[in-house]
Amino acid sequence: MKLNRRSLLKLSAATMAAGTIGLPAFAQQIDELVIAYNVNLPSWDPTVGPSAVNPTIQGIYQSVFDQYILQQPDLKPAPGLLTEWGWNDDKTQIWMTVRDGVTWHDGSPFTAEDVAWNLARVANPETGSPIQFVWGTLANHRVEGNKVIADVVQFDPTIFKWMYFLTGYVLPKAYYEKVGAEGFEAAPIGTGPYMVEKFERNAFVRLKANANYWGGKPDFDTVTIKFVPDAAARVAEVESGNSHVTLEMPYEEYDRLKGGPLAGIATPISDIGMIFLNDIEAMTDPNVRKAAAHAIDKQAIIDRLLSGYGVKIDTLETPEYDAYDPSITVEYSPEKAVELLAASGYSVDNPVKFKIQTTKGFKPKDYEMMQAIVGLWRKVGIEAEIEVYEIAKHYELRAADQLAPAAFYNWGNSVGDPTTSTGFAMFGPSPHSVWDGKDLIDMIGPLWGEKDEAKRIDGWKAVDKYIAENALVIPLLQYVQPILYAPGVVVTPHASGALLPHLMKRA
């Protein structure tokens, strides 16, 4: 073939036309729902390995697998694969009633045996569950009809909450034993609302609706979840009509698009932003800690840096959590901060100095928030030097109790129990706490095993009050999750932050 200018133009036009094949459009009715998701899915086993404790991929897991107990969009539990559950009178055993009529994606029946096998599997240290320390508090799992009973080795008041939290998923006993771990990775099945049809690692997962789902067949027969980690590419995906739903984009982009061809919803989720205070150097001085807390204008930071998308918090509990107490507040008062610092001999001319560590780009405007806070601190007599680190370094430093005197972090607690927020973040012996004060350890210690629920929650509220009064940590804000979606779909957000296709309906 002779290639001249005309034939070259024809070839270009043909290539461009070919390129448009398969591009979805806004106005068309949605046959196949396409979601641009913000993270990749590394593994299909939601009970072991790092993926099991990665909060951002729980939405995908919950599309395919059911948890023992269903968690509703407001974080409250509801009957799921377990219809009833509880402890015996002296709390030495737990019992669970298993739902009848549920089938696995391969058509085989789901039974109480599956539940008992799963609980025993994750309790076994050799399985490698990161949450083994919780599941290991139960032993001797046994089946009696459609009930599962287990002995309580060590009483944990949150055990049923873990049944709708990280690793609290039910996998198919017979199928798993037949295909093994590798076979399960290649072809996972669950009892969830969607079945895995096709999975390309780092690219997409294509799901088919489970017509036999015990909660009712989902609205969309086919859902494709594309893994698009780059925020700009995700925005372009929905703006171009390539995807119908996406989440976690810059708030400015959300504001720009939500009133145009796309709809948007932004609701608070269970993630919070906070500053860990390590009881070293300047942070051993209560006046410095309290001044640092009083000098931060949280609302101004939310309004100016996060376009208003955030909820100011003064404890590690958000309004949806069980131990939230609105009466505990830490006022913004630069005057009080100056006064407190003066009592310790510090001033603007003679500032107290310490380091603050932060991630940059891990959470929305994390570094910018720390810059703003350092600016506010400077005005009252605190000179903080910012050190940027990767999130992996944060985990390692925190586990080794080597964080700087101040360190920004985000904390997720989608079950809303005070144990998994204030408890793990502030209890000295925990590798996740850097505050080692004995007074706090003594306050928290008895609450781990408190059997009276009302007394337990009151106890945590008292702990939160003590922490706020003594500025042992600086809670900043509850994050708001922005979701953009095409006109043909209605999205129901989940306060855990999980984006769940089966909660999406046709408009």
Partner 1 sequence: MQILRILFLRLLTTLVTLAGVAVIVFFVIRVVPGNPIAMMLPPGATEADVARLSALYGLDKPLPTQFGIWVAGVMQGDFGTSITTRQPVLQLVLSRLPATLELSIMALVMAVILGGIAALVGTRRRGTGTEGAIDIANGMALSVPDFLWGLILILVFGVLVPVFHISGRVTPSLDLPFTTNFYLFESLLRLRFDLWADIVSHMFMPALALAIPLAAIIGQLLKQSLKETMNLDYVTLARTKGYGETRVILREALRNAALPTLTLVGVQFTFLIGGTVIIERLFSYEGLGNMAIDAVINRDLPLIQGIVILFAVIFVAVNMIVDLLYAVLNPRLRHA
| 237 is a site residue for partner 1 (CB under 8 A) | yes
| 131 is a site residue for partner 1 (CB under 8 A) | yes
Site stretch for partner 1 (CB under 8 A), options 258-266, 374-382, 423-431, 484-492:
423-431
What is the rounded CA–CA span in Å between residue 296 and residue 319? 20
User: Shortest distance, CB of residue 332 to partner 1, whole angstroms?
Assistant: 29
**DSSP percent split of the chain into helix, strand, coil, nearest 5:** 35, 25, 40
Residue 224, beta-bridge partner list:
34, 206
**Using CB under 8 A, which of 372, 424, 465, 488 touches partner 1?**
424
Angle at 433 between CA 428 and CA 438, to 5 degrees: 20
Q: Is the CB of 204 or the CB of 435 nearer to partner 1?
A: 204
**Using CB under 8 A, which of 70, 97, 113, 130 touches partner 1?**
130
User: Shortest distance, CB of residue 9 to partner 1, whole angstroms?
Assistant: 14
Any residues with CB less than 8 A from the CB of 335 and at least 6 apart, and which? none
User: Shortest distance, CB of residue 108 to partner 1, whole angstroms?
Assistant: 24
Kindly report the length of the chain. Answer: 507
What is the rounded CA–CA span in Å between residue 492 and residue 72? 11
| 62 is a site residue for partner 1 (CB under 8 A) | no
**Using CB under 8 A, which of 115, 116, 166, 476 touches partner 1?**
166
Pairing of strands 93-98, 147-152: antiparallel
Pairing of strands 505-506, 489-490: antiparallel
| 21 is a site residue for partner 1 (CB under 8 A) | yes
**Using CB under 8 A, which of 33, 35, 36, 305 touches partner 1?**
36
Contact 96, 85 (CB under 8 A): yes
**Using CB under 8 A, which of 67, 210, 224, 318 touches partner 1?**
224
| 361 is a site residue for partner 1 (CB under 8 A) | no
Site stretch for partner 1 (CB under 8 A), options 60-68, 96-104, 374-382, 384-392:
384-392
Any residues with CB less than 8 A from the CB of 228 and at least 6 apart, and which? 36, 37, 38, 234, 237, 243, 246
Q: How many helices (H) and strands (E) does the chain have?
A: 16, 19
What is the rounded CA–CA span in Å between residue 434 and residue 416? 21
Q: Is the CB of 32 or the CB of 335 nearer to partner 1?
A: 32
| 206 is a site residue for partner 1 (CB under 8 A) | yes
Site for partner 1 in 100-129 (CB under 8 A): 125-126, 128
| 181 is a site residue for partner 1 (CB under 8 A) | yes
Q: Is the CB of 54 or the CB of 371 nearer to partner 1?
A: 54
Q: Is the CB of 42 or the CB of 375 nearer to partner 1?
A: 42
**Using CB under 8 A, which of 11, 153, 232, 388 touches partner 1?**
232
**Using CB under 8 A, which of 30, 33, 35, 45 touches partner 1?**
45
What is the rounded CA–CA span in Å between residue 281 and residue 205? 49
Site stretch for partner 1 (CB under 8 A), options 171-179, 336-344, 395-403, 468-476:
395-403
**Using CB under 8 A, which of 22, 101, 107, 326 touches partner 1?**
22
Residue 108 φ then ψ, to 5°: -75, 150
- DSSP letters along 271-282, please? EEEEEEE-SSGG
**Using CB under 8 A, which of 336, 360, 378, 393 touches partner 1?**
393
**Using CB under 8 A, which of 19, 101, 145, 259 touches partner 1?**
19
Structure tokens at 142: 């046994």
Torsion 62-63-69-75 (CA) sign:
positive
- DSSP letters along 285-351, please? SHHHHHHHHHT--HHHHHHHHSTT-EEE-SSS--TTSTT--TT------HHHHHHHHHHTT--SSS-
**Using CB under 8 A, which of 423, 482, 497, 501 touches partner 1?**
423
User: Shortest distance, CB of residue 434 to partner 1, whole angstroms?
Assistant: 13
Q: Is the CB of 391 or the CB of 507 nearer to partner 1?
A: 391
Site for partner 1 in 440-459 (CB under 8 A): none
Q: What is the 3 state secondary structure string of 15-77? A: HHHHHCCCCCCCCCCCCEEEEEECCCCCCCCCCCCHHHHCHHHHHHHHHHCCECCEECCCCCE
| Count of residues that interact with partner 1, criterion CB under 8 A | 74
| 425 is a site residue for partner 1 (CB under 8 A) | yes
